[in-house]
Structure 1
């Protein structure tokens, strides 16, 4: 992916489900595309459970060492039963293990990619309309079940 730069913009690459809500995130805040935010949301229960709030991991902002808006890079979420590893260009940049501080999601999720403008100035900065149109470029996407590897 190559992400757009601009205050108020948020680019997401994430796994998600509702009922119960569980999520594993990679997000880029357009105000500073040299950093990447990772996070986990977890609600317990069997499929169909109406829990849309609950355990939320501590968001972590990682310094990339490059500007994600300048060139394409590979981003990955390696989701296993005992932990999650976030990777950039094939290198693990962050790990979270069971109950550290959030349980590992345990329900099937879908892969999502999006670009949106946030109304939260604290989260993404004040929206800069002069940066429109904003373009998120995706060269390829791959989802793989470890059992199929």
Structure 2
């Protein structure tokens, strides 16, 4: 069990690390953090294939949680770099000529770093502007690379549904939360669909702390009870996607399309070796 004083200290450390994710690099380095991986989405065209791949594996069978979208690969209409941003666009259309089509009436994209970049611990910051409208469900999240779900764990850095435009959530899923909605916290962001915000976590061996623009709103602590509660000492990879409908997205208003999920940058900071609690990465 963590004593109250130790818990307060951990909260202060986590909050400081998250706040510095947006600050000068020299300040981060003084705390022992360096930039380990990033994508600033410079240039134009499709997402960098050295950093991202397209996840389309469930198109034919249908996606989880009763989602309604078809995730397209290598299709600029659904994922492109433009104006220094990654733009994921969901559209009301059916790509009937594609062999993995499962009858979906909406298209979108799901980008992952699996096999290209995976991390254990660090400060993760994704600056994004979210889509709105009934049925939209953008997400910034992570999955365990070493084991399937739920044993590998899931870290939902940010989830948002268009039917609740002023609220974002951060959630943990693992074997101990299976059959539930996970361990979640919420934060009000009234202009989430109109302005860019920094969606952040600080992931250490002790806890995963969630924040927006450096303001902490949720924390999941390692209770030291085993891997069912804490599978988060092994690598995870990052996912960016825009789902439609499903159990969280709910009913879809076809009048909202096309809708855009815009990501300005993705940055991963990790502790420098020798500063304590050093992280590991594969990149």
**Deviation digits for residues 83-120 of structure 1 (CA, Å, limit 9, x no counterpart):** 111010011111111249x7232220001111111232
- DSSP-derived class of the 1:139 partner: strand
User: Cα–Cα, structure 1 residues 40 and 60, in superposed 2: closer, same or farther, change >3 Å?
Assistant: closer
Q: Which among 236, 239, 244 is matched to residue 117 of structure 1?
A: 244
- Residue 140 of structure 1: aligned partner: 265
**Deviation digits for residues 26-57 of structure 1 (CA, Å, limit 9, x no counterpart):** 2011111211122112249xxxxxxxx94766
Is structure 2 residue 168 aligned with structure 1 residue 36?
Answer: yes
Is structure 2 residue 155 aligned with structure 1 residue 24?
Answer: yes
Aligned CA-pair RMSD: 2.5
- Residue 142 of structure 2: aligned partner: 15
- Residue 103 of structure 1: aligned partner: 229
Is structure 2 residue 182 aligned with structure 1 residue 58?
Answer: yes
User: Cα–Cα, structure 1 residues 133 and 59, in superposed 2: closer, same or farther, change >3 Å?
Assistant: farther
Count of residue correspondences? 137
Structure 1: unaligned runs, 5 residues or longer:
45-52
User: Cα–Cα, structure 1 residues 24 and 88, in superposed 2: closer, same or farther, change >3 Å?
Assistant: same
Runs of 4+ in 1 over 6 A off after TM superposition: none
TM-score (norm 2): 0.44
Structure 2: unaligned runs, 5 residues or longer:
1-127, 272-277
Distance 2:199 2:187 in 1: 14
TM-score (norm 1): 0.79
Larger radius of gyration: 2
